[in-house]
């Protein structure tokens, strides 16, 4: 193989891969589906958070944890089936990955929540809603690149 041929077979740089991914319509459709599922999880989360803080009187971090657990279950189900279409892959492979990614997003959201409530004097419900939005990019990247990625040899 000559030197010019070797350049042709080198792996693409990260910026080139990102540009290539941004050009594929399927990635944008997947992102929109993720946003729709995330919106449903957002409603579930904020509703559960409001009930836990308002009706049950739980501390905002306890309420955020309970709301997270309910919303993450909702989001896993819909992302697995509709967003990433990976029901053919065993749940026991995807669920721990999704939970791990979601926990990272939760830690980001909980930190933002605590800062907004304790330092910023923002009401807990507004702080929770804001924190979820801020953590969403972390969750999408993790879900796409790890939790629901196509397995090698699956043709996906």
Instruction: Express each pLDDT in 76-104 by its tens digit.
Output: 999 998 998 887 777 888 899 999 999 99
- Kindly list the domain boundaries of the chain, sorted by start residue: 26-147
What's this model's pTM, rounded to 2 decimal places?
0.73
Q: Say what the pLDDT of residue 20 is.
A: 62
User: 33 or 7, which is more confident?
Assistant: 33
Which pLDDT score, from 0 to 100, does residue 87 have? 75
Cα 133 versus chain centre, distance:
10
Q: Report the alpha-carbon distance of residue 52 to residue 22 in Å, rounded.
A: 40
DSSP state for residue 153 in the 8-state scheme:
T
């Amino acid at each position: 193989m000559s030197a010019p041929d070797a350049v042709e077979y080198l792996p693409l740089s990260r910026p080139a891969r990102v540009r290539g991914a941004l050009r594929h319509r399927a990635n944008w459709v997947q992102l929109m589906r993720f946003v729709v599922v995330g919106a449903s999880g957002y409603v579930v989360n904020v509703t559960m958070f409001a009930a836990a803080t308002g009706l049950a009187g739980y501390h905002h971090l306890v309420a955020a944890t309970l709301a997270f657990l309910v919303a993450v279950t909702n989001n896993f189900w819909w992302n697995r089936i509709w967003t990433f279409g990976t029901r053919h892959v065993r749940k026991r492979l995807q669920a721990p990955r999704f939970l791990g990614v979601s926990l990272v997003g939760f830690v980001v959201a909980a930190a933002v929540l605590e800062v907004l409530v304790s330092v910023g004097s923002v009401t807990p419900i507004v702080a929770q809603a804001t924190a979820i939005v801020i953590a969403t990019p972390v969750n999408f990247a993790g879900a796409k690149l790890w939790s629901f990625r196509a397995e090698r040899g699956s043709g996906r």
